[in-house]
Amino acid sequence: MTAFHDPRAGLSQDQLDAYWMPFTANRQFKRDPRMLVAADGHYYTDAEGRRIFDGLCGLWTCGLGHAHPAITAAISQQVTTLDYSPAFQFGQPKAFELAHRVTEFMPTGLNRVFFTGSGSESVDSALKIARAYWRKQGRAEKTRMVGRAKGYHGVNYGGISVGGLPANRVLYGQGIEAVHLPHTQLPGMEFSRGMPEQGAELADRLLDIITIYDASTIAAVIVEPMSGSAGVIVPPMGYLQKLRDICTQHDILLIFDEVITGYGRMGARTGAEAFDVVPDLMTTAKQLTNGAVPMGAVIARQDIYDCFMEEGGPDYMLELPHGYTYSAHPLACAAGLATLGVLENEQIIKRVATIAPLFEEAVHSLRGLPLITDIRNYGLAAGYSIEHAPGEPALRPYQIAMAMWRRGFYVRYGGDTIQLAMPFTVTQDEIDSVINALGESISAVAAGTEEV
Ligand code: PXG
Ligand code: PLP
């Protein structure tokens, strides 16, 4: 294990400056780096040799823990056998094996898998497939997309257009044509455990959008079944089914963005399974390879795929002019097969469902502490809303996360929220320790006794 006993891990200022870090406060980070140098199981090692509990599973990626032996072995073996092969016009067996394996995690009917390199690529691929599908059906005017306030769909142009986080869009100019449903965080539903009871009627706002724009101009609705990045916003009871029904009635495709909810975190194979609503297209990434190699996947209803095959022209012609150099990368496929294998063989998803109520209990035990204005949870995910400091909604979550870091816990801070995503094999002791530390950190920030 590498330990530098130096928070900068021996890096020079020039080296720190050379790397333009993603979604990071670069100036502040480079003054006071938080450097991770190793990981195993549920813990990181930082550059000073401290063990840090991974309270977000990387970025919602590593539910099976770090350096899982089965995944590590599969990648090592693959890299010495077939490190890369062309993704276009040639295949490698593991791509087909993994596609088939993925379909076993999907609701009935979703059984055609398109591989990408990330969640953002999955989203833009799904949006393109949706528009192309309507064009193939002779309905080329169906191009408009419907997203939702607070939605996060990655950072490519399609994704930020349908996304509902203006900060991710405002710098970048013209995107694709998109309108937005309201988010589902209703006043009065704070501190709901699991699904809020009120709010299903918010799905009817889709009818208003249809009234204004007409369904003949709308290609698809895209939502996260449970919003992750915005702070774990759980769908109200009945809401997703209503969206499903309206989409079906008006010939609009329903896309579930399951980049966070796919492959186990909800205590079900997908959010679709957890909430019992089946979309037409699904986007996934992250947990598909346990985060060990970048990969995403779009999963389509068979008749959507069939439509491209039937309308594809002569059979030497490609049916969908779309794909990535790294689609179905052999290392990613090896990691994906190992990950889904472990999820299945070790009955991990059942374990998530079993431990979720204990996690829920612990998460909500902080209710009543100062600054906490809402607590939300589902499966092994939880979000805390933190009362804004005057004019600075994001300040206190940052202070709380830093207080956690000093106590040896990594948690996510974003907007006015703190987010937790437990490893699928988390123990009760680990849950207790992260929640105790969070309670201490929030209290210290509220009291102004935590140095910042
Ligand atoms: N859709 C959803 C629903 C996501 O959560 C993406 C698309 C984009 O995936 P990529 O692989 O391109 O980043 C995501 C990613 C956080 C956090 O801490 C969440 C994401 C990424 C980074 C941080 O909430 N979600
Ligand atoms: N830009 C250039 C110049 C390229 O040649 C390619 C791929 O060949 C790309 C972008 C797209 O890269 P990727 O397939 O990794 O998304």
Q: Indicate the pLDDT class of residue 6, thresholds 50, 70 and 90.
A: confident
Q: pLDDT at position 135, please? A: 98
pLDDT in tens, 126-137: 999 999 999 999
Mean pLDDT of 221-225: 99
Mean pLDDT of 295-322: 97
On the question of pLDDT at 452 being above 80, the answer is: no
| Residue 446 and residue 403 in contact, taking contact as beta carbons nearer than 8 Å | no
Q: pLDDT at position 120, please? A: 98
**And the tokens for 160?**
């930020």
Best of 121, 295, 325 to mutate for ligand 2, by most ligand atoms within 8 A of CB? 325
Rounded distance between C-alpha atoms, residue 70 and residue 300, angstroms: 29
Taking CA 384 as the corner, what is the angle to CA 379 and CA 388, rounded to the nearest 5 degrees?
A: 160
Give the percent of the chain with pLDDT over 70: 99
| Residue 403 and residue 444 in contact, taking contact as beta carbons nearer than 8 Å | yes
On the question of pLDDT at 4 being above 70, the answer is: no
Q: Indicate the pLDDT class of residue 2, thresholds 50, 70 and 90.
A: low
Distance from residue 253's CA to the centre of ligand 2 (Å):
29
Mean pLDDT of 182-189: 96
For residue 287 and ligand 1, the question of a CB distance below 6 A is answered with no
Nearest CA to ligand 1 atom 23: 59
Nearest CA to ligand 2 atom 7: 325
User: Which alpha helices (H) appear in 184-261, and where do they start and end?
Assistant: 205-213, 239-249
Query: In the structure, which protein residues have their CB atom closer than 6 angstroms to any atom of ligand 2?
Result: 324-326
Q: Which ligand is nearest to the CA of 153?
A: 1
For residue 58 and ligand 1, the question of a CB distance below 6 A is answered with no
For residue 291 and ligand 1, the question of a CB distance below 6 A is answered with no
pLDDT in tens, 95-142: 999 999 999 999 999 999 999 999 999 999 999 999 999 999 999 999
Mean pLDDT of 311-334: 97
Distance from residue 306's CA to the centre of ligand 2 (Å):
27
Taking alpha carbons only, the member of 271, 146, 293 closest to residue 220 is: 146
Q: What average pLDDT is seen over the chain? A: 97
- Residue 255: strand pairing partners: 222, 281
On the question of pLDDT at 198 being above 90, the answer is: yes
Distance from residue 117's CA to the centre of ligand 2 (Å):
12
Question: Checking phi first, is residue 132 left (phi over 0); if not, alpha (psi -120 to 50) or beta?
Answer: alpha
290: Cβ contacts below 8 Å, ≥ 6 apart: 61, 62, 63, 64, 68, 71, 335, 338, 339
Q: pLDDT at position 3, please? A: 55
**And the tokens for 196?**
């809020």
Question: 255, exposed or middle or buried, with CB in 10 Å at 0-12, 13-18, 19+?
Answer: buried
Q: Which ligand is nearest to the CA of 124?
A: 1
Cβ neighbours around 212 below 10 Å, total = 9
For residue 196 and ligand 1, the question of a CB distance below 6 A is answered with no
What are the structural domains of the chain?
13-67+347-447 (3.90.1150.10), 69-345 (3.40.640.10)
User: Which alpha helices (H) appear in 137-222, and where do they start and end?
Assistant: 157-162, 205-213
**And the tokens for 394?**
């994001």
Q: Is 348 helix (H, G, I), strand (E, B) or coil?
A: helix
Q: pLDDT at position 450, please? A: 85
Q: pLDDT at position 444, please? A: 97
pLDDT in tens, 12-42: 999 999 999 999 999 999 999 999 999 999 9
pLDDT in tens, 247-256: 999 999 999 9
